[in-house]
């Protein structure tokens, strides 16, 4: 494990026990149980259904599984799911939720850039969700291993913050404030993060051998996108205030796409 990954692992073990608990509340999990598709942006979910029309008994791997909302959703849809994350605490907390509900999910502690505990040609589908790429310092290694663990004709879909957001940060603002050039990719900060461009992500996919089939650029489904939930309490904001964040005339950044999804096939 490289230096960056070790720092990130330790940080996420700490965060899992502090502000990140909000993603494991009974209300958050009940929402997924009642509506598994709510774990995805509606356009991303449409891409998933198109790529994998019958989820039942399909083998799905979710590297950098984080809050495991997508993992739980795929399981509830009938898939056989493997959740991989670099943070033992994130996996421990998520596996406790799975045990509580009697969900048969495989949890493996592994680095997404290595996936050393995952055999080749194992999975029908691989999915990475919001917040993965910012922690990855070697995109080529990540995508080479995603390609490796997929079966022939298997699909990969990613959803993440649109790189167009990165020069400005992701908080709502009345005036646009540039915080970095688009082509400055990092690392940034004491806990290293990386702000990859569209070309970095797509070129890594292509060089791994994945065949890109569809790209979607999406807008936030509600105003919570514009709130830093690690620092701000979204529950103190009214619906009107949250809706206003999605109005590009009062929040100019809302004129840009906030999300990016890509579907690729091995």
The number of angstroms, rounded, from the C-alpha of 38 to the middle of its chain's C-alpha atoms is 14
Name every residue whose Cβ is closer than 8 Å to that of residue 51 and which is 6 or more positions away in sequence: 125, 155, 157, 263, 265
Find out whether 254 and 225 touch, Cβ atoms under 8 Å: no
pLDDT at residue number 145: 98
pLDDT at residue number 101: 97
Q: Which domain holds residue 80?
A: 3-265
User: Which residue stretches of the chain have pLDDT < 50?
Assistant: none
pTM of the model: 0.94
For the chain, the average pLDDT equals 93
Q: List residues bridging with 80 in a β-sheet.
A: 59
Q: Domains in the chain: how many in total? A: 1
> CA nearest 4: which of 127, 119, 136, 117?
136
pLDDT at residue number 232: 58
State the CB neighbour count (10 A cutoff) for residue 197. Answer: 15
Instruction: Check which CATH number belongs to the domain holding 248 and give it.
Output: 3.40.50.150
pLDDT at residue number 112: 98
pLDDT at residue number 64: 98
Give the Å distances, CA to CA, from 111 to 6, 25, 33, 106, 127. 10, 26, 28, 15, 15
The number of angstroms, rounded, from the C-alpha of 62 to the middle of its chain's C-alpha atoms is 9
């Amino acid at each position: 494990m490289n230096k960056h990954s070790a720092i990130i692992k330790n940080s996420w073990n700490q965060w899992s026990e502090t502000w990140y608990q909000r993603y494991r509340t009974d209300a958050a999990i009940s929402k997924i149980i009642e509506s598994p598709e709510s774990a995805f942006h509606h356009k991303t979910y449409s891409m998933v259904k198109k790529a994998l029309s019958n989820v039942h008994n399909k083998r799905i791997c979710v590297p950098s599984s984080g809050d495991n909302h997508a993992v739980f959703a795929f399981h509830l849809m009938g898939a056989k799911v493997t959740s991989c994350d670099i943070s033992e605490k994130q996996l421990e907390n998520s596996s406790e939720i799975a045990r509580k509900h009697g969900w048969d999910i495989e949890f493996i502690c592994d680095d997404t850039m290595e996936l050393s505990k995952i055999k080749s040609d194992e999975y029908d589908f691989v999915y990475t969700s919001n917040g993965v790429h910012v922690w990855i310092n070697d995109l080529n290694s990540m995508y080479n291993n995603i390609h490796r663990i997929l079966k022939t004709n298997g699909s990969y879909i990613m959803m993440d913050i649109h790189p167009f957001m990165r020069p400005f940060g992701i908080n709502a603002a009345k005036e646009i404030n540039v915080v970095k050039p688009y082509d400055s990719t990092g690392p940034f900060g004491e806990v290293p993060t990386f702000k990859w461009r569209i070309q970095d992500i797509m070129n890594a996919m292509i060089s791994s051998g994945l065949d890109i089939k569809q790209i979607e650029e999406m807008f936030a489904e509600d105003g919570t996108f514009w709130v830093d939930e690690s620092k701000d309490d979204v529950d103190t904001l009214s619906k009107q205030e949250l809706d206003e964040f999605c109005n590009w005339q009062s929040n100019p950044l809302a004129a840009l796409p906030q999300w990016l999804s890509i579907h690729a096939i091995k």
